[in-house]
Every structure is written in structure tokens, then in C-alpha cells.
Amino acid sequence: MSEQVFKDNELLKANKSESYFAVVRRQFMKNKLAVGALIVLIFIILLCIFVPIFSPYSMQIFFADNRLIPPSGQHWLGTDIIGRDLFTRLFVGGRISLGIALAVTAITTLIGFTLGSLSGFYGKWIDTIIMRLTEVILSLPFIMIAIVVVALFGSSIQVLIATFGALMWPGITRIIRGQILMLREAEYMKACEALGINDFSRITRHLLPNLLPFIIVYATLNMASVILVESALSFLGMGVSPPTPTWGNLLEPAREMIHLANRPWLFIPPGVMIFLTVMCFNIVGDGLRDAVDPKSRGR
Amino acid sequence: MRGFVIRRILQMIPVFLGILALLFLLTELAPGRPLADIQDPRLSPAHRERMLERFGLDLPVHQRFFNWVVDAVQGDFGESITHRRPVSEMIAGALPATLTLSISSMIVSLLLGIPLGILSAIYKGRLIDNICSVIAFIGISMPVFFFGVLLILIFSVGMELTPISGFGSAPPFGLRGETLLEIWRDRAWHLILPVTALGMTGAAGYMRYTRSSMLEVITSDYIRTARAKGLKERRIIFRHAMRNALIPIITLLGLQLPALFSGSAITEAVFGLPGLGQILLQSVTGRNFPILIGVMTMVAIITLISALIAEIMYAVADPRIKYD
């Protein structure tokens, strides 16, 4: 009977028709800066996907007589030291950089969710061990320890992804732990306990959906930091090694005085791409946080 | 208070041992053995054995770890395999550049970040706030190496104002003088660009933190009381709000230190400063394990001690913090 009453209530119906994600989307759309950044981001991703496919230049083939041509109608961003088309390489590099960022974000989010929920849900010694572990990793300077790891294990894309994954999980772990500590006391969690639902489904079926918005926000922001550290490491010559291009190692010529002083087309475009992409991820992530968490709005 | 400090130091020990174990484990798991790059065919197996013994590499794993920890605690990180110099000596040689760069950049970050953060909190939602938040986004998104490269391009190559790299001029050319003052003046000249690069990119974090901390304080009851009392706005902001809003920044300082060292390593590479990051990069090719873990241990010690100092300072600055 009560169901009938609810169905007839226009006001409630209107309220109910807007799901949580619809509210979030509406809030996000209000933020013009964030929407703009999202559009730019989609545009960059599309370029990274399609430019290498439609480019007349292969990233492997090079011509000795085409070396170091400044930007022209034929080579929009010029050519590099051994005559490869830089416009093509820029977006092939973008694929690699974005791909690494995506893989690392997936790994850190997975580790972060698992360890964060174990830590927050069970507390006690599990919590102590995991939190001490995060302290150990957080007190090491990221770039330095990454240099050491890459130095010891070699610099392949796989090693890089594994290293970043192993070093970047503490941030999201702590956030998820904090959220779970808060949610654990919620009424519906008490109800779950009373109903005798097992821990696994309490975490995955009941806590995860509530955490999802936060996970998406931090995954977006994490993309930005992975791109930054990967490019820094590749710039130092400790990341992905040539001939595979990434935005970071495309910038490497800037470390040599001859190129730095005379050939800006070699390193300005990848630098701008890193900056632009990272900024878009940051702005979108920030916009999402404001949309997801009303408390953070305007902060 | 004393109990609080002692307890924090005791809590630091497992973290420190964890770092040491992690670093040691990394070098153990790594493929390739030290001395592998010395491939002199005249090197007899016996000679090789003797060299391994000299560096204590012939002992079992647990014994090496124990020896190494005991030595490391005493400030002895072994001997560099390629340089035949104590690692501690090489670290000591590189510390001035890294510390000068990091500390000056941190000061620049604070001097930029805090005032802008306060400004943006006071004028929340208005033009100044919007400009500041755009600057903050640029700051957190700008890769420090690209910013450094642009600075060199503009100020060193374009305008020929500042030196391109190094931690001081070479004696015959530069103005490096005899007195300490002259040496440091020359160094400061070399450090302008690196400190600008690292300091400005670091300011964004402090700015956002200050802003949100200020906003939280400004809306609190005692500020409303101060307004109701009819105090001048300036007095409210500077005497009442700022004091409480800025205390948490002390903690942030401690937490930011690892990031600062990371940034410093990258900046050193861009500007050719002879710091810890450079030593690290140089010892990579030679599989110079003692240097790699020596530098990391040193940095970890500095970070942990600074975090401890930050925490103690926080407890001193904020009487609401309970020591027990």
C-alpha cells in the first residue's frame, strides 16, 4: 500500500527520476572550465589514436637527407636528428604516454582499493602493517627511487608500469581507507552485518558502489601524475628508451645545448602536449571532485 | 612533550628499517651483479674473488644486510665501486647543491603560495580568485623540466642574462672569488633559474592548501564573533584567521619533502647542478649499488627527520594537539 502512495506522489517521483550519476553529470556540466578541459582532452586522445594511422610517414622509416628540417608544409612539426617526421612521432608518443598512464592507474586503483578496504574494514594489525608500508613508500622521493629501480631492472615499458604501480598506490589506498572508516559506521553497513552478509560482498557489493565516485576522481588525478613522472623519467633518459617515442623522451634533445639554442621545434611540441594533457586531467579531476563531493565545492 | 617526541622517534624506527629493507631487497632482486662491467680478460677468478671479498659481496644475504645496516647507521655506506671513494664522502660532496636548491625553492614556494592562497580565499569566487586558481592549475601541471628548459631558452639563450648551468663559475672565467661571500654570490647567480623553476611549480600546492584552509577558518564561529565585535577586516584576517589557517601548513612542509627532492633531482639534471640526483644518474650505468642505496638512505633519513621536526613544530604551534 505504501508503495502506492509513493507512486502517486509527484514530487517524490520527480526527485527519484534523477539518479545520483545524473546529479553528478549535471553538476559537472555547470563547471565550464572542466567541460572545456574534457573536450580538449578528448580531442588530444582522438589525435593520438588517428594521426599515426593516417600519417603518410612511418615512425620507423627515416631519411638521412631529411634531418632536422624546421616545421614546413610537408613536415608540420619538422623532423628530428635522424629525419623522422615529428608530427607523427608526437602522437605515437602520446599513445605510449597515455597508455602507460592508463595501465598504471588501473594497477594503482586495484591495489589501492584492495589494500584500502582491507585496512579500513578490518583495522587492527592489518591496518597497522598497510599504513606503515604506505609511510615507507611515501617517505622516499618518487623520481629518485624510480631511477634506482629502472637502473636495476632495465628500462622497458613493462618495468616502468610495474615500478609506477608499485610506488603510486599509497595515495589512493589512504583515501579509500578513510572513506571506508567513515562508511563502516553507516546504517546500511550495520544492516548488512545484522543480515549476516559476508565480508566479501559487504565490501564489493555495498561499499564499492559508494566509493566509485571517489575512485573515479582519484583515478583521473592519478592519470595526470603518472604522465608527469613518466615524462620526467623519460626526459632523464631513465624511462622508455628510444626508438619508442614518449612525450618525455621526445623532449630529450633539450638537454643538449645545440638543440636547445637553435631547434625549438624538437622539444617545444612534446612539452606543450605534456603540459596541456596534465592540466586537462587535473581540471577534469577537480571538476569531478566538486561534482561528486558537495563539501569540496568551491574549495 | 618529551614522551611524545620519544614515542614518535620509536615509531620512526620500523619505517626506517622498512626503507632499508626495501632498498636492500631491490638491489638483491636486480638482475646483473656488481663488478659485471669490469670485464678485463686478464682478471683471474681468484682476483675477482678477492675484489668481491673486498666489498664484502661474498657473504650470505642476511649477513650482508645486517652488516650494511650496522654500517649505514654509523654513516658508512661503503665504498663506491667505480670511484674507490667512500660513498659518504661523495654524498657529502653533493649535499650542498641539493640542499641549497631544495631549501631556497621551498622558501620561494611558500612566499608565493601562502599570500596568493590567502588572497584567493578572501576574494573567493571573484576575479582574483579565478586568476589564482588558473595559476595554480598551471603550476601543478607544468613539468618542472619543461619549465626549466623554457627558462633557459628565454633568460640564458635569448637574453643572455643568467648562466646556463652549473653550481658556480669555473675559476678562470667566472667571478668566483676567494671569499665565501663572493662564492655564494656567484652560486646565487647560478641558482636563480633552477630555484625559479622548482619554486614556482611547487607554489601551486601551498596555494591551494592555504586557500582551502583559510576558507574553512573564515567561516568558523570565532571569526564571525570577531566581525560582530566590529574588528577591522585586516585585523581579523591577519591576527585571527591566518594564525589558525597556517598551522597545518607546517605538516604539509614535512609531507612535501620527498616531492621536493624528486623535483630537485630533475632540476639538477636540467641545470647541470652537482647534487644527489646527478650522482644517482651517474651511478646508474655502472651498476654502482653502494651509491644508489647510499643516496636513497641518506634522502630517507633527511625526510624522516624533517617529518619528525614538522610534527613536533606542529604540536608546539597548536596547543590543541594533545601529546599523548
Nearest Cα of chain A lies from the Cα of B48 at a distance, in angstroms, of 22
Q: Which three cell numbers stand for residue A287?
A: 571538476
Question: A274 contacts in B (CB within 8 Å)?
Answer: 143, 146
Each residue's pLDDT tens digit, B8-53 = 888 888 888 888 888 888 777 776 655 555 556 666 777 767 766 7
Least confident of A88-102, A160-174, B262-276, B298-312: B298-312
Nearest to A147 among B14, B281, B287 (CB): B281
Burial per residue of A22-41, b for 16 or more beta-carbon CB atoms within 10 angstroms, e otherwise: eebeebbeebeebeebbebb
Residue B173 is predicted with a pLDDT of 45
Q: Which residues pair with A45 in a beta bridge?
A: none
Average pLDDT of the residues in B297-304: 83
Question: Looking at residue B116, what is its pLDDT?
Answer: 92
C-beta atoms of A282 and B137 within 8 A: yes
The mean pLDDT of B68-78, rounded to a whole number, is 72
For A33, which residue in chain B has the nearest alpha carbon? B134
Alpha-carbon distance of A148 to A150, in angstroms, equals 6
Report which of A41, A149, A52 is spatially closest to residue A101, judged by C-alpha positions.
A41
Chain mean pLDDT for chain B: 79
Q: pLDDT at position B300, please?
A: 83
Compute CA distances B150 → A251, B71, B158, B297, whole Å. 12, 43, 10, 33
B153 contacts in chain A (CB < 8 Å): 260-261, 264
Structural domains of chain A sorted by starting position, each given as residue range(s) with its CATH number in brackets = 33-57+75-298 (1.10.3720.10)
Q: What is the CA radius of gyration of chain B?
A: 24
Residue A20, CA atoms < 13 Å, CB-side half-sphere: 8
- How does DSSP classify residue B37? T
pLDDT at res. A83? 65
- Are A94 and A55 within 8 A, CB to CB? no
**In angstroms, how far is CA B223 from the centroid of its own chain?**
36
Residues facing A85 on adjacent strands: A79
Judged by CB atoms closer than 8 Å, whether chains meet at B266 and A298 is answered as no
Rounded Cα–Cα distance for residues A145 and B221 (Å)? 45
Alpha helices in B55-126 (DSSP H): 61-73, 87-122
ipTM for the assembly: 0.83
Whether B105 shows a pLDDT value over 90: the answer reads: yes
pLDDT value at residue B170:
56
pLDDT digits (tens, 9 = 90+) for A258-297: 777 777 777 888 889 999 999 999 999 988 888 887 666 5
List, as ranges, residues 209-268 from A with C-beta within 8 Å of B: 224, 228, 231-232, 235-238, 251, 254-255, 257, 260-261, 264, 267
Rounded to an integer, what distance in angstroms lies between the CA atom of residue B242 and that of residue B245? 5
* Pairwise CB contact (< 8 Å): B18 & A133: yes
- Minimum distance, in Å, between the CA of residue A286 and any CA atom of chain B: 10
CA distance A142 to chain B (A): 6
pLDDT digits 0-9 by tens, B121-172: 888 888 888 888 888 889 889 999 899 888 888 887 777 667 777 766 655 4
Q: Kindly determine whether residue A136 and residue B15, on different chains, have CB atoms separated by under 8 Å.
A: yes
Is B247's pLDDT higher than 90? no
Q: Which domains does chain B have, with CATH numbers?
A: 19-73 (no CATH), 90-276 (1.10.3720.10)
Cβ distance A275 to B141 less than 8 Å, yes or no, reads yes
pLDDT-derived band at B177 (thresholds 50, 70, 90) equals: low
Distance (Å, whole) CA B259 – CA B264: 8
Which residues of chain A, if any, have pLDDT below 50? Answer: 1-13
- The identity of residue A170, as a single letter, is P
> Which grid cell is A180?
571506508
Compute φ and ψ for B79, nearest 5 degrees: -115, 140
Of A142, A255, A274, nearest to B143 by CB-CB distance is A274
- Give the best residue of A125, A144, A273 to mutate against chain B (max B CB count within 10 A): A144
Q: How far is B33 from chain A (nearest CA, A)?
A: 10
What per-residue string of b and e applies to A131-146 under the rule 16 or more CB within 10 Å gives b? Answer: bebbbbbbbbbbbbbb
pLDDT in the model for residue A154: 78
Whether residue A152 lies within 8 A of chain B, CB to CB, comes out as: yes
User: What are the φ and ψ backbone dihedral angles of B228, each rounded to 5 degrees?
Assistant: -60, -30
Contacts of A298 in chain B (CB under 8 A): 124-125, 215
Residues in chain A within 8 Å Cβ distance of B205: none
User: Grid coordinates 671479498 are at which residue?
Assistant: B53
Cβ separation of B293 and A148 shorter than 8 Å? yes
Return the bridge partners of A252, or none. none
